[in-house]
Structure 1
Amino acid sequence: MIKFIDAVMGSGKSTYAIQYVTSSQDTKFIIAAITLSEVERYSQACGLPQPQSEFSKINDLENRIKRGESVVITHALLLSISENKALLHRLMQQEYVLILDEVLSSPIYPLAIEKDTLKTLQLAGLIEIHESTGKIQWLGEAEYEDRVSLRDACLNGEAYAGDDSFAVGLICKDLFKAFNSIVVLTYMAEYSLMYKYFELYSFPVSIVTLKNGKETNELPVFSGKQFRNLITIDAVKRRILSDIKLSSSSVSKMNAKKAERVSKAISGFFDDNRNKANKQDRLWTTYKAAMGKFSGSRARPLYDATNFLQHTSRGTNDYQNVVAAAYALDKHLNPGIVKFFARKGISYKKRNGKQPSGEEMWALSEMLQWLWRTRIRKKQSIELYVPSERMKRLLSNWLT
């Protein structure tokens, strides 16, 4: 059974998990967190060990599981378990419970291929594509050094073809089958790719929330009214860029003139907040491919690569003193993943009047995770610049 604990950031999900672990002495746990600092925090709070790396962490983890020890690991180490069939078998035998602090970032992910790649690989006898399901079977050698991402997706998980120009990979479902039960701590669970992943494989899933630190079957509250006095969204007219699109495809094709307008707008925002935030107290993001286009270009720029944080970042507390932040992108689900869902009969709900669509809620949840790297996680106010009109609307509606 998979249970999502769905509650807004700062509502006590990790405290709940720590109490659950420390009060369940006869249960074997694996706690998986995103960052090493969070692993350390859980390790100390629960009195549980972390795998050591004298030889390799995966070998140490395997030995600890053989002995039936509870342990705290990173998401990355958890994913590496899926490649170890013997270790998965031992997990199942020992009836471990997995506590996952935050959803895995890419349980379903696009594979980098060019047009006609799949057709070429088929003709070469390296893959076979199931006619009705689109599942790709790898027929080549495991050591084949070309198309490594596709090869590994097929061998370590699953891969599915769309048309000739895209394919998606899925992490190995056996990883989740190996646990007696799974608890996932997150916010806006039903809009996450991980929830859709479990839906795809028909895993039994439930969603609960927290009230006064305890589980309740009430519906999660998708409102940020309690934070509206902590987030000031920049509204300076000269920084409104309603004619500039900031989706991934748009920024990759953006000309130098438009990119300079975005860069100047971000610089202007940070300049206006110079007295509130030194450079180390500023944070910005965009799609990584556009980072160079938008970076500050002065001799002593107000922002650059040193205070850039990837828009996919979760879990880290390294930026909790940030006062001013710029979120310079318009987040959309990868079109290949959307097509894959449609082929499998899985979809996000459509927009209904003022109610955002499921894909918009996914975009909002991703944005909130990034924002919560700043000092708002300490319930301290921040200044925020959001040049994308769509992302600004989603956030503003959430705050009201």
Structure 2
Amino acid sequence: MEKVKVIDSIMGSGKTTYIIKMMNEAPKNEHFIFITPYLDEVTRIKRSCTNRKFYEPKIHSEEGETLYKLDSLHKHLADNNDIVTTHALFSMANETTKELIYSGNYTLILDETMEVVKKLNISKDDLDMLFQNEWIKNNNGTIIWNDEQERNLNREYKGEFQTLKHLAKSKNLILHNESVLFWQFPADIFAQFKQVYNLTYLFDAQIQKYYYDINGIEYELYAVVKDNDSYKLMQHSRQFDKAKKDVLRHKIRIYEGELNKIGDDYYALSKNWFEKRSVLHKRLKNNILNYYQNILKSKSKDNLWTTFKSHKSKLSGKGYTKGFLACNIKATNEYSHKKSLVYSINRFVNPAIDDYFRSKGIIINEDNFALSEMIQWIWRSAIRNGQVINIYVPSSRMRKLLKDWLENER
């Protein structure tokens, strides 16, 4: 396969505009799959690609939850339609999906990086039980479903591990340290495409970069630059970001003051801190209230904040609770009117994932990862439209990362 073309450019630099123009101008016998994190971006692509028709695989509701139908995706692939859908559906790809992509001569546009490695929430006891009852087998570190056991018992397994069964049958489950199960997106799917484009920012900081490395997927970095009234691809250079950050430096107003004392420790506001420092939760909540009500005197409609979802209720307060936005959000414009931000979190890579990559000889740069996640979150706000924003970042570590980035030191 050709090397993946990673278009690594700062948000708002024109990545999607460039790709839309490329798809609109491509010959009719070219076929594209555009994968994006959110449904509002699906609508944007369908409206913007005026020279070709993009199809969206159908969805259906089951027990109140919206689910994607893989067979609908397969029908569009078989018909050689141009397709736009979400990461959620693409992550369900199986052997049939791969065959249809390869025979259809498709180009993939992957908007933002995906969750390509995920720790499954299954206890060692449950895992041992599945092994002992011979429902699963270990094939050189890959967990596979034992179809023979179903034949021997003359019945299909329909227990509580149906999801695990589906993943195991797709051969996407990895056993780590004899006790932890990871789902990994099938790396060989990228080889089925004629060409792959990956649109993102700070790619070197992201888990998908490390995933490419351990799976031997080669890539090359590009940047999108303005060329008169259009955009073009150039070999990547961080210098392209400098002019943009020179402007941002004056539009992102970072709070400095007494409310930052709670985050002086390097690990303050990390997940472990929230779990072991419950006595400080109320103080952090009061700090957030103080920041919004007294320091900014902001209106609730302007407030945007985040923390770990499991601790959201402990920090929620009057005037900002409804402005919560998950810390791992990407590629949505829904909050672009928000001007008063609180980033009450200190990001680190999940220890199990970090250990998994270490076992493969890959060391994840924790600071770069944290910076990338924070910038993506901040970019959901009014800064994406060039407006001034105010932000309270109580973690000294996260605040320094943000300042260094703005000063072109990262």
Normalising by structure 1, report the TM-score.
0.87
2:345 matched residue in structure 1: 329
1:352 matched residue in structure 2: none
1:8 matched residue in structure 2: 10
> What SS does structure 1 have at the residue aligned with 2:363?
coil
Quick one: which of 69, 75, 78 aligns to 1:66?
Answer: 78
Is 1:39 matched up with 2:53? no
The amino acid of 1:3's aligned partner reads K
2:144 matched residue in structure 1: 137
Is 1:198 matched up with 2:212? yes
Quick one: which of 155, 161, 166 aligns to 2:180?
Answer: 166
User: How many Å separate the matches in 2 of 1:391 and 1:144?
Assistant: 46
2:56 matched residue in structure 1: 51
**In 2, are the aligned partners of 1:5 and 1:13 still within 8 Å (CA)?**
yes
Shift in Å at residue 62 of structure 1? 2.9
Q: Which moved more, 1:147-156 or 1:88-97?
A: 147-156
Determine what percentage of the aligned residue pairs are the same residue.
28
Structure 1 segment 49-198 matched on structure 2, within 5 A = 49-51=54-56, 53=58, 58-80=70-92, 82-83=93-94, 85-104=95-114, 106-130=115-139, 134-139=141-146, 143-148=157-162, 150-163=164-177, 165-198=179-212
Shift in Å at residue 150 of structure 1? 4.1
User: How many Å separate the matches in 2 of 1:380 and 1:163?
Assistant: 48
- Alignment length, in residue pairs? 379
- Structure 1 pair 128–62 and aligned structure 2 pair: CA distance change class (3 A): closer
Is 1:365 matched up with 2:379? no
1:351 matched residue in structure 2: none
User: How many Å separate the matches in 2 of 1:259 and 1:54?
Assistant: 40
| Consecutive unaligned residues in structure 2, runs of 5 or more | 61-67, 151-155
Q: Which moved more, 1:184-193 or 1:119-128?
A: 119-128
**In 1, are the aligned partners of 2:307 and 2:345 still within 8 Å (CA)?**
yes
The amino acid of 1:262's aligned partner reads L
> What SS does structure 2 have at the residue aligned with 1:240?
helix
Quick one: which of 377, 380, 399 aligns to 1:392?
Answer: 399
The amino acid of 2:144's aligned partner reads Q
**In 1, are the aligned partners of 2:260 and 2:394 still within 8 Å (CA)?**
yes
**In 1, are the aligned partners of 2:260 and 2:395 still within 8 Å (CA)?**
no
User: How many Å separate the matches in 1 of 2:145 and 2:288?
Assistant: 46
**In 2, are the aligned partners of 1:153 and 1:171 still within 8 Å (CA)?**
no
**In 2, are the aligned partners of 1:91 and 1:178 still within 8 Å (CA)?**
yes
User: How many Å separate the matches in 2 of 1:388 and 1:117?
Assistant: 38
Deviations 1:322-364 (A, max 9, x none): 010111111011111111111112223xxxxxxxxx2211111
**In 2, are the aligned partners of 1:150 and 1:169 still within 8 Å (CA)?**
no
Structure whose residues are more often strand by fraction? 2
| Consecutive unaligned residues in structure 1, runs of 5 or more | 349-357
Is 1:382 matched up with 2:399? no
**In 2, are the aligned partners of 1:273 and 1:324 still within 8 Å (CA)?**
no
1:23 matched residue in structure 2: 25
- Structure 1 pair 152–336 and aligned structure 2 pair: CA distance change class (3 A): farther
**In 2, are the aligned partners of 1:167 and 1:336 still within 8 Å (CA)?**
no
Shift in Å at residue 57 of structure 1? 5.4
Shift in Å at residue 174 of structure 1? 4.0
Normalising by structure 2, report the TM-score.
0.85
User: How many Å separate the matches in 2 of 1:320 and 1:193?
Assistant: 26
User: How many Å separate the matches in 2 of 1:60 and 1:117?
Assistant: 34
**In 1, are the aligned partners of 2:260 and 2:393 still within 8 Å (CA)?**
no
User: How many Å separate the matches in 1 of 2:39 and 2:59?
Assistant: 17
- Structure 1 pair 317–203 and aligned structure 2 pair: CA distance change class (3 A): same
User: How many Å separate the matches in 2 of 1:169 and 1:63?
Assistant: 26
- Structure 1 pair 94–238 and aligned structure 2 pair: CA distance change class (3 A): closer
User: How many Å separate the matches in 2 of 1:157 and 1:36?
Assistant: 28
